[in-house]
Amino acid sequence: MKISVIIPAHNEQDYLPAGLSAVAEAAKLTSCEVETIVVLNRCTDRSEEIARAFGAIIAREDAKNLARIRNAGFAASTGDIIVTVDADSRLHPHFLRLAVEKLEGDIVGGGAMVFPDRWSLGIICSACMVIPYLAKYRLSFAAFWTTRAAFAAIGGFNPDFVSIEDVDFALRLREYGKTIGQKWSTIWTAPLITSCRKFDQYGDWHLVRDPSFLKRAFTGTDEEIANEYWYDQRN
């Protein structure tokens, strides 16, 4: 059994070392072989150098489209189990082990519990604003894990979405699971730690000050806000 961990990277030299180190630590606690694929997206910094130093497989996709970027990682992977995680996030040491255990049962795949790398009142209030969106879909996000067969069966991530491609992927994966008698699951006991760089940049209260942002982002098709918030950062 082999696990492929796919990490999109657009100028992520500040976060890749910690993210790749976390994958390496998690790999020690599973009996599976683990490969890491870093998908370079228009990188002009040391991201490739850092990825190679950690022994990662290098893939490339220059589109301003995370669905295409993640799918490029899948195309370069060889694992039986697929895990996707962002470059500024750190897997819990037990995350991969638990994902394998769940996939050995009646689980089609799932998401993760996620904690920020720092807390503030503004971040807590922002999280409260996101909760209704999460409750609407009844899904968890942050890091996705499933089998290679299930990933291929649903066609991977949908490039028609420039944002919330992860929500769409999760919804389709859950529905596919129902057709084969399997359920969606969440890894609650091994939470992912994600950076607060958006709050560092825009302010801890920016979602509260601009509630229209979430509405626009959750359409999945607003290229202006997607480019500003995700794809044109760190140029």
69-105 pLDDT tens trace: 999 999 999 999 999 999 999 999 999 999 999 999 9
Instruction: Report helix, strand or coil for 187.
Output: strand
Query: In whole angstroms, what is the distance from residue 159 CA to residue 163 CA?
Result: 9
pLDDT value of position 235 = 57
What is the separation, in whole angstroms, between the first and last Cα of the chain? 38
Q: What is the DSSP string of 85-131?
A: E-TTEE--TTHHHHHHHHHTTTEEEEEEEEEESS--HHHHHHHHHHH
Residue 234's pLDDT is what?
67
CA distances from 59 to 47, 74, 217 (A): 12, 9, 27
3-state secondary structure of 133: helix
pLDDT at res. 218: 81
Of 191, 224, 81, 53, nearest to 146 by C-alpha is: 81
157 occurs within a structural domain: yes
Instruction: State how far the Cα of 230 lies from the Cα of 91, in Å rounded to an integer.
Output: 21
Phi, psi of 157 (to 5 degrees): -85, 145
Amino acid at 218: F
At residue 140, the pLDDT reads 81
DSSP letter string over 43-76? --SSHHHHHHHTTPEEEE--SS-HHHHHHHHHHH
> Is residue 219 in a domain?
no
Say which CATH number the domain at 160 has: 3.90.550.10
In a domain, 129, yes or no: no
Please check whether residue 205 lies inside any domain of the structure: no
Range of the domain at 172: 2-114+140-195
Question: How many domains are contained in the chain?
Answer: 1
In a domain? residue 55? yes
- Residue 145 counted as domain residue: yes
Do residues 73 and 37 touch, judged by C-beta distance below 8 A? yes
Q: What is the pTM of this model?
A: 0.95
Q: What is the pLDDT of residue 5?
A: 98
Q: Tell whether 20 is covered by a domain.
A: yes
Per 3-state DSSP, what percentage of the chain is helix, strand, and coil (rounded to 5)? 45, 25, 30
* Per-residue model confidence as pLDDT tens for the chain (235 residues): 999 999 999 999 999 999 999 999 999 999 999 999 999 999 999 999 999 999 999 999 999 999 999 999 999 999 999 999 999 999 999 999 999 999 999 999 999 999 999 999 999 999 888 878 777 777 787 899 999 999 999 999 999 999 999 999 999 999 999 999 999 999 999 999 999 999 999 999 999 999 888 888 888 888 888 888 888 876 5
Q: Is residue 163 part of a domain?
A: yes
